[in-house]
Amino acid sequence: MNDSLRYRFAPSPTGFFHVGGARTALMNWALARSQGGTFVLRIEDTDEARNRPEWTDGIVSALAWLGIDADDPHFEGPLFQSHFAGEHVAAAERLFASGHAYYCEMTPDEIQERAKAEGVNGYQGWSRELGLGPGPGRAMRFRVPEGQTVVADLVRGEVTFDHAVIEDFVLVRGNGAPVFLLANVVDDVTMRISHVVRAEEHLPNTPKQQMIWEALGHEPPVWAHVPVLVNEQRKKLSKRRDKVALEMYRDEGYLAPAMVNYLMTLGWSPGEASEDGSEIIGWDAIEQAFRLEDVNLSPAFFDVKKLGAFNGEYIRAMSIDDLVDACAPFLDAALPEGWDRGRFEAMAPHIQPRLVTLADAPGLIDFLFTDDPVIDEESWDKTMTSEFSAPLLADAVASYASFAVGDWNADQLKATLEDVMHRFGLKLGKAQAPLRVAVTGRTVGPPLFEALEVLGRNETLRRLQVALDRLAA
RNA sequence: GCCCCCAUCGUCUAGGGGCCUAGGACACCACCCUUUCAAGGUGGCGACACGGGUUCGAAUCCCGUUGGGGGUACCA
């Protein structure tokens, strides 16, 4: 372990875990593990979050789902920001004592008025030289010196900010509560954080944080601001308009490794680490290959369709046993209680290449687990209105009825229907359609004869007869 | 308003002066395979925002324009 490499991930609990947060967490994790450093999970527990401990539990379990394991030696935490509250105030006092901060008793309204009257923008350090001491309602502000701050960012290079455009920002509110900006820096200092890897939206605040680091007498950390994730309108992913909760993707049957893989390809490319040019690459390889220096500068669109492609890829790579296990919860939710696991195991290889998410599984095979298939009327109309539908069905019933139980398998069923179709001068694609609708209720689905084999002789014949009766009526 | 960031196919990206008539992946289209739908295979469509420089040579470097995004609270 390299004790001097400490990467922090500092989410605020909000009741769900943001996919953007997942990505930065993953990046920090990859760095900490491959460099032999530590991933520090620090949770910004607000008052509301403290009343809802399940929110912070959610963060830990979301991280665990992603493979960021709290028991891993590289993992430290969770630590809670509120535990350091005393240190926040103490640091502010030191800043005041050393002249880096001063008290100001102007209210936001007064500031706005005066700025308007003077035709200037924002607070102009009006209380700087008043020599005010602490007092009720007085906020502590940072005395921004002349000059400029250069933020050395590992992904974006050196970014220069002119102090002239940074107002004397508030450190501690009039009620004595330190602001987030200060708390954050003090936590980072206290926890000896060496690398701050976070989303780009924090870049404009970084010069302020760097000034605080320096005023506190510390060398600032290595900064790295990675591009934000955006929606189709190129706006930052937001809880209100976008589907951003990691938990929702998990609950819809997206696989963690697929999500992890996809997230890491946003703003970064595995490059040489992927020998075949595909973007499908396992975590171990990602961990070894990931470098902040290789991260892109521009925002990336979170494309659910591409996520789905990755997910399908990962599903197809699963063993049948694993697939069955993974699908089980989704089947529990959708099928009648006590569904036959063996039956699903028999069909699993056939639905595997057809799944985008695990949640798609029940819809593909539910007809095998219900008393009667749900007939899609559109499908019925499309396939049962031909002249040959009824006679073909009748022929099929007659042919299948003569099957011995031991002959009831996909190959024989197919061969027999081929005989039938020849009698009608049809191709298999056409001839199987009425049977498919009669048995499954739909025109599309898993391979028909395999499904019939699983369904069994009696039930298949019964369903075909039901359809025949309906056609006769 | 002010500050900061960004700009290669529809999308995610490769690219760091000649290897680029710009490569891959997802999506899309066509064909093949085929038991419907998928999966798989083959092929196709498709981009360096614009304008100036620098250079023998620019997607790559510089400047500007335009366009996008983010930030700017006694929010976190």
Encode pLDDT of A437-458 as tens digits: 999 999 999 999 999 999 999 9
What interface predicted TM-score (ipTM) does this complex get?
0.96
Of A33, A40, A75, whose CA–CA distance to A287 is shortest? A33
Q: What is the pLDDT of residue A404?
A: 83
Q: What is the pLDDT of residue A67?
A: 98
Question: For chain A, what's the residue count?
Answer: 473
Which one-letter amino acid corresponds to residue A143? R
Q: What is the pLDDT of residues A156-180, one digit of tens each?
A: 999 999 999 999 999 999 999 999 9
Check residues 56 to 115 of chain A and report those whose beta carbon is under 7 Å from nucleic acid strand B.
104-108, 111
Backbone angles phi, psi at A3, to 5 degrees: -70, -15
Catalytic choice (A239, A243, A382, A427): A239
Q: What is the pLDDT of residue A80?
A: 95
Check residues 45 to 64 of chain A and report those whose beta carbon is under 7 Å from nucleic acid strand B.
46
Q: Could you identify the residue whose CA is nearest to the C1' atom of nucleotide B6?
A: A298
Q: Is the CB of A122 under 7 A from strand B?
A: yes
Q: Could you identify the residue whose CA is nearest to the C1' atom of nucleotide B69?
A: A235
Helices (H) and strands (E) in chain A, counts: 20, 12
For residues A145 and A161, the answer to whether their CB atoms sit within 8 Å is no
**Running along chain A, 473 residues long, what does each successive block of 10 average in pLDDT?**
94 95 98 97 92 95 98 96 94 96 94 88 91 93 95 94 94 95 96 96 96 97 96 93 96 98 96 78 95 95 97 98 98 95 97 98 97 95 92 96 89 96 94 97 97 96 96 87
CA pair distance A65, A247, nearest whole angstrom: 9
Which contiguous run of DSSP H or E holds residue A16?
A: none
Chain mean position to CA A22: 6
* Å between CA of A200 and C1' of B12: 18
- Look over chain A and give the mean of its residue pLDDT values, rounded to a whole number: 95
Residue A256 burial (CB count, 10 A): 18
Q: Is the CB of A317 under 7 A from strand B?
A: no
To the query of whether residue A239 is one of the catalytic residues in this protein, the response is yes
DSSP A405: G
* Å between CA of A151 and C1' of B26: 36
